[in-house]
Amino acid sequence: MPVAVLLLCAFALDGCASSGKSRDAERQQDMQQRLSAIEQSLQQHRLDRETSTATLNDRMAALEQQLQMQQAQIRALSDALENIRSRPPEIRPKPAPAARPAATGDSRVTAIKPPTVKTGTDKPDLQHREAEKNAYTAAYLALKSGRYEEASQGFAELLKGYPKGEYTDQAWYWLGESLFAQHAEKAAINAFGQVVEHYPDSVKHAAALLKLGQLQQAQGHAKKAMAFYQRLIHEHPDSTAAEQARSALAAMRAATENKR
């Protein structure tokens, strides 16, 4: 074969090889670009998903907080309504009868004048009651929202400002609940004790007795706990708290029998 033909064949083969290498390089570059694009797309998808999840979580948290606030307001209003319903009706004094002339015919006897009513005297009382109600509601909402320290401070300030107010008995009870939530058991016992000893007609009297029994039982004071449970059953036999007290007493007695 002539040398020229061999040279042409060699050049052709070399060109084919170079062309093949070039196409391989292009393919490899194209694959790398596609992989890079896919990775960027996946990364963007993850970011979008994380952002969407965070936004959804924020919305759910906001809705949950709003729901808790509304439920707390409903409970506060229900407690206030229950307190109003449980109070005895106001007994107004009967007006004094007009004086009659004496039997001796003494014309100097005069009719008894009614007491003078001063206008505007009820306004400060209404403002006082409204301020107490607002302070009570704020502390109650803090308690139901889990802000226990804020709640205990609010109830303590309420009791200082209104020691004989409309919500004093309930403020003592919820102060006990907020203190118990902070693991201040001794202080909680003192707060519940105020309700038990000084407010026998309170709507929270039965609940306070139950709490005292549970706290004493948790601290290992079985006799004190049983005494509170028995008092609760005796004074509030038809209450839900009394049912719980009966169950607790039965469990304590069964445990005592098993130890023997």
Higher pLDDT, 131 or 106: 131
State whether residue 169 is helix, strand or coil: helix
Q: What is the mean pLDDT of residues 114-135?
A: 66
Rounded to an integer, what distance in angstroms lies between the CA atom of residue 245 and that of residue 253? 12
What are 148-179's pLDDT values in tens digits? 999 999 999 999 999 999 999 999 999 999 99
Contact assessment for residue 194 and residue 207, using Cβ atoms and an 8 Å cutoff: no
Which 8-state DSSP code applies to residue 91? -
Q: What is the mean pLDDT of residues 52-74?
A: 62
Amino acid of residue 187: A
The pLDDT confidence band at residue 116, using thresholds 50, 70 and 90, is: very low
111 pLDDT above the threshold of 50: no
Q: Residue by residue, what is the 3-state secondary structure of 197-249?
A: HHCCCCCCHHHHHHHHHHHHHHCCCHHHHHHHHHHHHHHCCCCHHHHHHHHHH
Average pLDDT, the chain: 74
Query: Would you list the domain boundaries of the chain?
Result: 22-85
239 pLDDT above the threshold of 60: yes
Dihedral, CA atoms, 137, 138, 143, 144, nearest 10 degrees? Answer: 60
Q: What's the pTM?
A: 0.54
Rounded to an integer, what distance in angstroms lies between the CA atom of residue 236 and that of residue 250? 18
188 pLDDT above the threshold of 90: yes
Contact assessment for residue 69 and residue 141, using Cβ atoms and an 8 Å cutoff: yes
E strand or H helix at 41, and its extent?
helix 3-86
Q: What is the mean pLDDT of residues 99-124?
A: 37
Rounded to an integer, what distance in angstroms lies between the CA atom of residue 164 and that of residue 183? 28
Q: What is the mean pLDDT of residues 185-202?
A: 96
Q: What is the mean pLDDT of residues 43-61?
A: 62
Q: Give pLDDT, residue 139.
A: 96
Contact assessment for residue 133 and residue 80, using Cβ atoms and an 8 Å cutoff: yes
What are 13-48's pLDDT values in tens digits? 565 555 555 665 665 555 555 555 555 655 565 566
What are 66-109's pLDDT values in tens digits? 666 556 556 655 665 555 555 444 434 444 444 443 333 333 32
